[in-house]
Structure 1
């Protein structure tokens, strides 16, 4: 569960926004723009995409990527460090999260929209969630541009202003047309935000670098080529992970040994 008020608000927003926009696009926009056949195909494709978005969104929160329960050595191996907050040794590339209050394997960042950290074991779900969100908001923003104008009084400067201030407009003039305009604006804002994120995190993915390492220029030694780097995050079967989050794709590293040699592909057993 989210551990801060900001995380809680962001998670609640995502839980309402994703299904609301899905219903809007599939059952309201598509039948207006497309004929019956294309509308059905649009609904099938939209259902597949939203299933992946929700599935990966849930997986980010459910997959534990912390060091809790792992058998950690009492002495500090080379490249490791001691976490004062956890009072234990911590592997290379792991960092402590003050919000989650745990050390996270290959910590990428703390994600406000899922209320948890993104690390080694759930990074795959985060990136694919991000990719599908970017692609869907891009498509929906384009599609909605043909749908929205009759509902805001036609193309005019006043209509553009109302679309730029969706929150103010929906409070000032609540109506179904205003709600449509609000969802249109949410899509456009989401697309712009996701474009920045997908560009940034794709750069980190293909270089096998975390945000912390990138900011401190410490990730170059983990870059062993694009294919290797993609497998570190998406797993050996990275080409199948896009189909659905339940598809198995074993990771090439366990998060404990980051030597240049091939490390164990199995995660060490957790204590009970």
Structure 2
């Protein structure tokens, strides 16, 4: 049996830190979109290329926000599921939930629930990334990485006249955009601030992409990687990709609403060949 999507009943973050990070993302994404489409594009491109720039940019921001909201909406916890009263092989008892918990699940103190194939608690979405929404998280990450790379490159041709040309003082202004914006609030400093947000975002996303791509192709979570427990779920790159992105992984990049069934339901997991399986699936 594959995974059946369930939706969370509570969308709002449970902590102030999560709420602040989520609000920042919901403000930053449309702000950067406005900057690239209405300010940078018309300055850099001719009319034809700018139209293409607007079309692609609009598609990307809709796709990014769609995947971001899907991470928040999809319930990855074991709450509401019928769980066995006895502890099956490979399962464990969660003292916080006072219930049995399936393999690869871990309890999240912030969400106050056990999360199936828990990857981590994401502060920017205010919820955990697990089996059901890992696809949306990874594609959101990939699209953000690609977008910030493109925007950083494009903006480098745009920003220098606004910061006084290519010199050390301009570099300092771009490295400390928030301070400059507070000391000299103006449209120029706002442009410089948005430029720096893109560059910082690209560097941050590059590190995350490198790390989470490595885990994805090995079918491991952060916890399993840190404790060297994930190798037993490695069934080869193609299978491992499907565990996160689904059977139709090649379509998941197009739009978050496209269906891509996951091969596991989060309760049963097959192990590597030669090892004992955890409640093997029946086709």
TM norm structure 1 = 0.96
Give 2:197's match in structure 1, choosing from 161, 176, 186: 186
Provide the aligned length of Structure 1 versus Structure 2.
265
Equivalent residue number for residue 216 of structure 1: 227
C-alpha distance in structure 2 between counterparts of 1:132 and 1:177, whole Å: 27
Q: Structure 1 49/37 Cα, relative in aligned 2: closer, same or farther at 3 Å?
A: same
Task: Within 5 Å, give how 1:13-32 maps onto structure 2.
Answer: 13-32=24-43
Unaligned runs of 5+ in 1: 266-272
Tell me the residue number matched to 1:56. 67
> Is the CA contact 1:108–1:118 (under 8 Å) kept in the aligned structure 2?
yes
Distance in 2 between residues matched to 1:259 and 1:205, nearest whole Å: 17
Q: Distance in 2 between matches of 1:259 and 1:252?
A: 11
The reply on whether 1:141 has 2:159 as its aligned counterpart is no
Residue equivalent to 1:263:
281
- Residue in 1 that maps onto 2:168: 157
Deviations 1:116-143 (A, max 9, x none): 0000000000000000000000010000
1:270 corresponds to: none
Shift in Å at residue 263 of structure 1? Answer: 3.0
Question: How far is the alpha carbon of 1:264 from its aligned partner?
Answer: 6.1
Partner SS, residue 78 of structure 1: coil
**Alignment match of 2:212 (pick from 201, 206, 209):** 201
Per-residue CA distance 1:7-27 (angstroms, 9 max, x = gap): 010000000000000010011
C-alpha root-mean-square deviation of aligned residues, in Å? 1.0
Contact 1:252 1:264 in 2 (8 A): no
Q: Is the 8 A contact 1:254 1:264 kept in 2?
A: no
- TM-score, L = length of structure 2: 0.92
* Mapping for residues 1-272 of structure 1, pairs under 5 Å: 1-260=12-271, 263=281
CA deviation string 1:76-116 (max 9, x = no partner): 00000000000000000000000000000000000001000
**TM-superposition CA deviations, 1:166-199 (whole Å, max 9, x none):** 0100000000000000000000000000000000
Distance in 1 (CA, whole Å) between partners of 2:246 and 2:270 is 18
Distance 1:156 1:212 in 2: 45
Once residues 155 and 87 of structure 2 are traced to their aligned partners in structure 1, the CA distance between those partners, rounded to angstroms, is 56
1:259 is displaced (CA, Å) by 2.2
Cα distance in 2 for residues equivalent to 1:189 and 1:11: 17
The residue matched to 1:147 in structure 2 has which SS? coil
Higher relative contact order (CA 8 A, sep 6+): 2
